[in-house]
Every structure is written in structure tokens, then in C-alpha cells.
Amino acid sequence: MTVAQLLQCLSIIAFNVVIGFTQRSQTSQRQPFNGILNIYKPRGITSNDTCQLVKKILTEGYRERYLRSNIPKIKVGHGGTLDMHAEGVLAVGVGGGTKALSFYLKGDKTYEATGVLGHETDTLDINGKTLREAPWEHITDAAFEEAVDSMNGVYEQIPPLYSSKKYRGKTLREYAIKNLPVEVKSAQVMVHRIERLRVPGLELPHFGLRVACSGGTYVRSLIRDIAYKLGTLGTMKSLVRTVKCNLNVADSLNVSSLDYDTIVRNLNVPNLM
């Protein structure tokens, strides 16, 4: 067993200990819900919007079914922000399940992204303001794929200024919006696997990527850094999170189909073993 596998096993054991303790605590406190949901967050809404929707549905549904005006406060949170313009798997913890969200925050994830070479925006995606442009025509497919492959492994990554990364209690996005000075520090991230995603009709300067990485990795920054290696600039066009720890996009609940019964039926303590 490798060190990484041992650490993963220890994390799984700790996760189940937390969940077991939480279940007992929730029972004694008469909390109505407890567990983790796998929800597909669409573009155009925030991760917090998704959590608030779940909370609203559960609160109103519980009140209607049990004819109670006062119910225990339902805690809802998520295990890793997806930006408004991104979509895909969002781990949503309810009740005691929120205590286990740290495992999802730190856990590995997989993305499918598209990007374009030749310019860079302030947000590092196409929704931002273009800051710089650079030639890309000198880049061959072979050179691009070599640069992509070179990103496998551990490296120091500078997060996007427009992000949920915290600095002195505020997100970097808050500093950026208010045009306040802020020190953006690099962080060590792990890219487990990155490959060019071949999409019909998608040719340079446009491209696709599939990335499996550690928690805290920003694909927008990854695309920027690949472009820098190639002597140009790069911007992300789209992002879909397909895997978050043990949660897979194929099993995600669509936000548009959420109702009380669907949430309760799918609100489970995950079996990570």
C-alpha cells in the first residue's frame, strides 16, 4: 500500500467516524435530515443558491407534511465551490452531513473544460474583460500536447483573482470587485492526470481538456499556465465537474427536478468503503 492509499484509507475511516457520531447527535437533537446530496449545479446560479434551494424545499416540505410551524433549523452547505459560470457535481451536505463536507473540500475531482489560446481576461474565463492578447499561430498540436502533459504532478499554482480563495477573511473575488490591493499567494496543487480532450470540430486555438486533480486546483489557472509554457495566453471557455470524490455526474440530481420527496429519497450517508 502506498502512502497516498494509506492516507486515503485513514480519511475514509475518519469520515465514517464523523458521520456515525453525527447521526447519533442528530437523533438526540431531533434533527429531521442528515446526509449528503449529489446535485448537478447548472450554469447561471451560485453554489450557495443551490444550497438555499435545497434548504427552502426541505423546510417547506417538512412543515406541510408534519403541520408544524416551528421545525429545527436545517443546516445546508456544500463541499467545494463551483463558480456561477461552471456546472457539474456539487456535494451538498444537510444537517449532520455538513460536518463531513471537509472531506469533499479536500478531496480529488475531475473536470472537462474547453479553452482558447491568444488572449487572457481578468477572470481567466471568457466572461471576463480581455486584458492582453498574444500570437498563438506558432503552436503545433504536438507542442500543445507536450505542454499539457508537462502539467502532470505537483506544482505551485497562483489562483485566479476572481475566485472564492480566502485572504484575511474575505474572498479574492471581493477584493477584485472593490479594486482593493491583495496579496495573491501561490499554493501547491496536484494534477493526477491531464489530457487533451478531442472534440470534433475543436481545433487550435480552441481546445478541450480532461483534468483529474486535488482539491484547491483551479482549471482556469491551469489553462493560463499551459498557455504561458507555449509563449502565449489562454482563457477558459467552459467547465464541467464530472467527479467529486465518490460522487459522479451520472448520478447527480438535476436542480430543475428537485422536490421534497426526491431530496429525502436521495439524502444518504455515502459508503466510501
The catalytic residue positions are 83
Return contacts of 199-205, CB within 8 angstroms, 24+ apart.
Answer: 199/114, 202/114, 204/117, 204/136, 204/139, 204/141, 204/144, 205/116, 205/117, 205/118, 205/136, 205/139
In sequence order, the β-bridge partners of residue 142 are: none
Distance CA 180, CA 196 (A): 37
Contacts of 122 (CB under 8 A, 6+ apart): 128, 129, 131, 161, 162, 176
Distance CA 195, CA 186 (A): 23
208 by DSSP, 3-state: which? strand
Residues 194, 209 contacting (CB under 8 angstroms):
yes
183 by DSSP, 3-state: which? coil
